[in-house]
Amino acid sequence: MNATSAPVEDLIVIGKIVSVHGVRGDVKVYSFTDPIDNLLGYKRWTLRRGDEVKQVELVKGRLQGKILVATLQGLTDREEARTYADFEICIPRSELPDLSGDDYYWFQLQGLTVINQLGQVLGRVDHLLETGANDVLVVKPFDGSLDDRERLLPYTDPCVLKVDLDAGEMHVEWDADF
């Protein structure tokens, strides 16, 4: 297990090791992918916890309820596996599949300036929330925003009119008073 070959800023978090599983050194993984077992399609993981970074290889994995159980190469001891808890599982952005049409990865939307139909700057996309019905954009104010309010906007077709990644903008149908 060695250092990562991809620059740290190029890494995307796709899951997290949460604990050990069994006595043979397997780990329980919480996946951020959809569907959750897509994470198992990536065989080389960069693990990151604070300033600590290491590269591991996935030998096998399986879905167990809402958690994945993974076997990592060279990890055969339960106590050693316990030291892997709280590591984020990362991959280089370049390994993500291309999306078609108007589909975007969440990381692509973060940081976009949100502008409503009247040209008012509502803020920047800070992060997204998964609510079940639809995803929600958390828009936080910055210098140059209309006001200092944080807004929650539904990430739906009626609300999001246009995403322009090159310009760093998202145009929305949203009243500034909401």
Can you give the CATH number for the domain in which 155 is found?
A: 2.30.30.240
β-strand partners of 124: 113, 140
Shared domain for 111 and 91, answered yes or no, is no
Alpha-carbon distance of 56 to 76, in angstroms, equals 13
The pLDDT assigned to 3 comes to 45
Our count of domains for the chain comes to 2
β 88-92/26-31 pair status = unpaired
Q: Domain with 23 in it: what CATH number?
A: 2.40.30.60
Kindly report the pTM of this predicted structure.
0.75
Q: Give the residue numbers spanning the domain of 67.
A: 8-95
Whose structure tokens read 């096998």? 60
Inside any domain, residue 101: no
Shared domain for 120 and 90, answered yes or no, is no
Residue-wise pLDDT tens digits, 65-107: 889 999 999 999 999 999 999 999 999 999 988 888 888 988 8
Label residue 7 by pLDDT band (50, 70, 90).
low
The pLDDT assigned to 66 comes to 86
Inside any domain, residue 178: no
- What is the residue-averaged pLDDT of the chain? 92
